[in-house]
Amino acid sequence: MSDLTFIEVQEGKSYQSGWYLYKQPLIPHRILGQAPLEHNEYLSKLVAWAFFNGLITESTRLNSVVRDAHIDIDKFYQMVSDLRNTFSLRKRRPSMQALGSPCEISQLAMFINFENDPTQELSAKASKVDLKNVDILSFGSEGKSLIGSVDLVYRNSWHEVRTLHFEGETAMLDALKTVLGKMHQDAFPPESVDVFCYSKNLRGVLRNTVYQLLAECIELRLKPIDQEKRRRFKALKVANQMYGLFFERRGVSVQKLENSVDFYRSISTNKLQGSPLLMLDKEVEYQLPQVVDGFASEGLIQFFFEDTDNGFNIYVLDESNQVEVYHQMRGSKDEMIASVNSFYTSNVNNDSEVSSKLINFNLPQYYQLVHAEEGEPYIIPYRNDGGSSNSRNSKAVNA
Three-state SS at 96: helix
CA 111 to chain centre: 16
**pLDDT value, residue 215:** 95
Q: Where are the domains of the chain?
A: 1-69, 92-257, 286-348+362-381
Q: Where are the beta strands (DSSP E) in the chain?
A: 3-9, 18-22, 38-40, 61-65, 105-112, 149-156, 161-167, 192-197, 232-238, 241-248, 251-257, 277-279, 302-308, 311-317, 323-328, 365-372, 378-381, 396-397
When mean pLDDT is compared across 63-77, 146-160, 177-191, 249-263, the lowest value belongs to 249-263
**How many angstroms separate the Cα of 168 from the Cα of each of 19, 71, 144, 150?**
19, 16, 11, 9
Residues 6+ apart with CB under 8 A from 260: 301, 340, 343, 344, 347, 364
Query: Per-residue pLDDT for 297 more than 90?
Result: no
When pLDDT is averaged across residues 164-174 and rounded to a whole number, the result is 95
According to DSSP, residue 388 is labeled: -
**pLDDT value, residue 233:** 78
Q: pLDDT tens across 221-277, in order? A: 888 766 545 557 788 889 988 888 888 776 788 888 776 566 666 655 443 332 333
For residues 397 and 140, which has the higher predicted lDDT (pLDDT)? 140
**pLDDT value, residue 255:** 83
Q: pLDDT tens across 325-337, in order? A: 776 555 678 877 8
When pLDDT is averaged across residues 135-141 and rounded to a whole number, the result is 87
Query: Per-residue pLDDT for 351 more than 60?
Result: no
**pLDDT value, residue 259:** 64
**pLDDT value, residue 70:** 84
When pLDDT is averaged across residues 369-378 and rounded to a whole number, the result is 86
